[in-house]
Amino acid sequence: MSPKLTWKVLRKDLALGPRSPIFLWAIVLPFALTLILQFTFGSLFNPEPRLGIVDGGDSEITAQVEDMKGISLTLLDDAEELKSNVEANDLDAGLILPAGFDQAVKDGERPELQFYISGESYASNRIILSVTAIDLVRGLEGSKAPVTVDVVSYGTAGLPISVRLTPVIVFYALVMAGIFVTGSNLVEEKEQGTFMAMLVTPARIGDILAAKWMLGTLLASVLAAATLVLNQALGSNWLQVFVVVAVAAGLSSMIGLLMGTFAKDSTIMFGLVKGLGIFLFAPTLFYIFPQWPQWIAKLFPLYWILEPIWRVSILGGSISEVWVELVVAVGITVALVPVIGLVARRVQAQMASAG
Amino acid sequence: MSRPTSRPALVGALLKKELKAYSRDKIYLFLTLLVLIAIPVAYTFLPTTVSETITLAVSPPVTSMIDDAKDSLRAMGATDEQLAELDNADLSQQQEGLQLIEFDNEADMQRVIEGTLEAWRTDDGELTLRDKEAGEDEPEGAEKLGLDIGIAFPKDFITDVAAGKSGVTVTVYSDANVPEEIQGAMTSFVREAAYQLAGRQLPVNMADEQSIILGTDRVGDQVTLKDKLRPMLLFMVLLMETFSMASLVSTEVLQRTVTAVLVTPVKIGDFLLAKTIFGTFMSLGQGLLVLFLVGGLTVQNWSLVLTVLFMGSVMFTGLALYVGASGKDFMGQLFYTMLFTIPLLIPAFSVMFPGSAAVWVRAIPTYPIIDTLVGAFNYGATWSSSAGSLAYAAAWLVLLFGAGLFALKRKVETL
């Protein structure tokens, strides 16, 4: 193997790679998934009761709801718009606070509370919003409540869904850039005959495969790190994060290289990624559902790269906590080298006899 | 020597050729079968109920609190009418959105919330406690309760609050994972109960419940996830066929087999008609198969559902013709198709969210298709109530299908 020739092949791939639609998809996907999963679908997994308020006179109630956690507040200007939003279930409930409402309550005038509930809102959300609204109105009176309520909390709160979804997005960054780009790049070279053309130059098959692996590792590292930054999951220990991300990118790129070496054409490459998709994806589910028995995740190869990213980057831990996982990941990566070599020699022989 | 051939016979021959090419495309054949098996299987596991209730533990039982309080309140001069009010305020009776589990002992309730004791309920409603750590067996014929928040009232809560005694304290035990809005609501709930018991009326007038509920009241009759996903899955089956159809067209353009076909008596119109029939048939056929497996057709909605599925099939066939006309290789074609189909999928996902879709989602061509399907399956939509959506869908259909035909025709003519 010649580092100089490897570098030449890598430089060619870096120059020509961005012309491929797969390359572009690999770059776009982490951004698109972050947008879709975190900003759009995040609320699907963790829905908050939605309250709309039309405030005609700077009510204290509005200010207090704004400060509350767990209630999604929408401020509207028009009472009819609020009612139509409530009716369409765009809001679970709506509250109309006319000018002078607070003062009228304080003066004991018993004004009408214009509170509306959507017919499609869940009963639990109705209770939460109704009881909260009444409590806030009571608060306007200024008198002391006849009871003191102490809250005793047990355990520690689980991580929010937005954090638990981050491994899913990192996974896609690694799979697209590490596995798909690496494998497809190699397969395209085989399909277009440029792979054979390179082999008649001084470059040996090892140089070409090493360049492809480096391309995937580089791209997967950059995109996985970018994904972590986008999801605000890149801790201050960035040097340690870089190590775990590089190990992850290295293994995923090695898997891509194996698939690319094995696959005769793009169809088989696509079929391999699709067919093995659930096997590769499975460990990410255990981060979304932490109550599942976690040992099962260890049966899947990508667990050994996702767990270090999870613990070091997302949870801000130290690399020393995940040395076992890193050793296993590097071990799998190294173990795949002779397997790829074997497959590559067979493919080379087949191509030579076909040519 | 030539034999006169009718146009239908030519189209029929082309359809046979399409079917053969389709069956040879192993990867898409595999993916089609996978989708046709996976979707109905996954559908059977979707939840058929909607959880819209907060389960709340209470100690001591509300009825015993009321019974204990009655004697004291009577001694304090409360009338029978006032005491009867207490019975009306019994929280243990069925309340929408709130399920009470009553504990005799505060310590037991505390341990259940803490997670060191399990609460089970038998078929006859009896509460049974199980100490798993102590090796106790699971009670037979009982269901485990998921309790993570509970209220511990002091024994003389009602009497003390009614008498205006100061320093009355109620403890809310909560697991740290309970959402803050529920913790807050339970705290508010206790305070309001105390206000009522202390005889302090609400500082506002409230309209009756029926007049504040806007729209059809669906409490206890919410659309389940299973019902919500039915139209989405059917829509996805239709859309998935775009990939295989686009691949078939693309291969034909790339390998220029279409030019060979056109030196026979086949005209370009026959070629386009065969592609349209084949694409629509494959897409609609798979949609109908999945519809048969997941169910949902009723006497009221069948004609509307089938019409919309047909419109969707033609729309996606048009898209496949447009995308396939580019004549790219496998990977190029795949990602080019994704470029068009991913935005078209967005309206399908919007059905999972409550409320109406955003304006930009409604502007997507597939929105009226999924909107009509959702209406027909879940909200009793009729032909007249769906007329607007159908007209909107038809306009997009004409545009997309026309674009597909035009693009492919032009491509074939330039080959």
Residues A335 and A202 in one domain: yes
Q: Is A90 in contact with B183 (Cβ distance < 8 A)? A: no
Q: Is A214 part of any domain?
A: yes
pLDDT at A147 over 70: yes
Total count of domains within chain A: 2
Looking at A141, A176, A197, the residue that finishes a domain is A141
Q: What mean pLDDT, rounded, does chain A reach?
A: 88
B276 with B317: CB under 8 angstroms? Answer: yes
pLDDT given for residue A77 in this prediction: 93
Tokens for A352, please give them.
């030579």
Looking at A90, A110, A141, the residue that finishes a domain is A141
Tokens for B237, please give them.
């089956």
Q: Is A240 part of any domain?
A: yes
Residues A66 and A205 in one domain: no
CB neighbour class for A321 (10 Å; exposed up to 12, middle 13-18, buried from 19): middle
How would DSSP label each residue in B79-131?
-HHHHHHHHHT-TTS-BTTEEEEE-S-HHHHHHHHHTSSEEEEETTS-EEEE-
Cα radius of gyration (chain A) = 28
Element (DSSP H or E) covering residue B183: helix B180-197
Residues A222 and A259 in one domain: yes
pLDDT at A39 over 80: no
Residues A109 and A185 in one domain: no
Task: List all residues of chain A from 185 to 244 with a beta carbon under 8 Å from chain B.
Answer: 188, 191
CB neighbour class for B217 (10 Å; exposed up to 12, middle 13-18, buried from 19): middle
pLDDT given for residue B256 in this prediction: 86
Q: What is the average pLDDT across B293-317?
A: 94
CB under 8 Å, gap of 24 or more: what pairs does B62-71 form?
B62/B90, B62/B91, B62/B92, B62/B100, B62/B102, B63/B90, B63/B92, B63/B102, B64/B104, B65/B153, B65/B155, B65/B157, B65/B158, B66/B90, B66/B158, B68/B155, B68/B156, B68/B158, B68/B159, B69/B156, B69/B157, B69/B158, B69/B159, B69/B162
Residues A172 and A272 in one domain: yes
pLDDT given for residue B311 in this prediction: 96
Looking at A141, A168, A191, the residue that finishes a domain is A141
Least confident of A219-223, B82-86, B367-371: B82-86
Task: Give the mutation candidate from A149, A273, A274 for the B interface (greatest B CB count, under 10 A).
Answer: A149
Q: What mean pLDDT, rounded, does chain B reach?
A: 87
Q: Is B331 in contact with A90 (Cβ distance < 8 A)? A: no
Residues A10 and A116 in one domain: no
* B146 in A contact zone (CB under 8 Å): no
pLDDT given for residue A192 in this prediction: 84
Task: List all residues of chain B from 17 to 56 with a beta carbon under 8 Å from chain A.
Answer: 26-27, 30-31, 50, 52-54
pLDDT given for residue B210 in this prediction: 67
pLDDT at B62 over 60: yes
pLDDT given for residue B4 in this prediction: 64
Domain range spanning residue A103? 48-141
pLDDT given for residue B188 in this prediction: 93
pLDDT at B73 over 90: no
pLDDT at B90 over 60: no
Residues A239 and A269 in one domain: yes
CATH of the domain at A113: 3.40.190.10
Q: Is A293 part of any domain?
A: yes
pLDDT at A9 over 80: yes
pLDDT given for residue A34 in this prediction: 84
pLDDT given for residue A272 in this prediction: 85
Please, what's the b/e burial string for A236-262 (b: 16 or more CB within 10 A of its CB; e: otherwise)? ebeebbebbbbbbbbbbbbbbbbbbbb
Least confident of A344-348, B53-57, B229-233: A344-348
The pair phi, psi for residue A235, each rounded to 5°, is -75, 180
Element (DSSP H or E) covering residue B363: none
How many Å apart are CA B337 and CA B317, to the nearest integer? Answer: 12
pLDDT given for residue B306 in this prediction: 96
Residues A217 and A262 in one domain: yes
Q: Is A134 in contact with B336 (Cβ distance < 8 A)? A: no
Residues A52 and A37 in one domain: no
Residues sharing a CB contact under 8 Å with residue B309, sequence separation 6 or more, in sequence order: B234, B238, B284, B287, B288, B291, B373
pLDDT class of B259 with cuts at 50, 70, 90: confident
Neighbour count for residue A116 (Cβ, 10 Å): 23
pLDDT at A322 over 70: yes
pLDDT at A273 over 80: yes
* B219 in A contact zone (CB under 8 Å): yes
Q: Which is more confident, B3 or B356?
A: B356
Q: What is the average pLDDT across B38-53?
A: 88
Q: Is B215 in contact with A88 (Cβ distance < 8 A)? A: yes
Q: Is A193 part of any domain?
A: yes
Cα radius of gyration (chain B) = 32
Nearest CA in chain B to A183: B331
How many Å apart are CA B194 and CA B157, to the nearest integer? Answer: 9
Residues A202 and A304 in one domain: yes
Angle at B64 between CA B62 and CA B68, to 5 degrees: 120
User: H/E/C letters for each residue in B333-350?
Assistant: HHHHHHHHHHHHHHHHHH
Residues of chain B with C-beta less than 8 angstroms from the C-beta of A128: 54, 181-182, 184-185
**CA distances (Å), origin A257, targets A212, A253, A262, A271, B65:** 7, 6, 8, 15, 71
| Residues B372/B377/B383/B385 CA torsion (nearest 10 deg) | -70
Indicate the pTM of the whole model: 0.79
Return the bridge partners of B122, or none.
B142
Residues A255 and A108 in one domain: no
Residues A55 and A33 in one domain: no
Q: What is the average pLDDT across B172-197?
A: 91
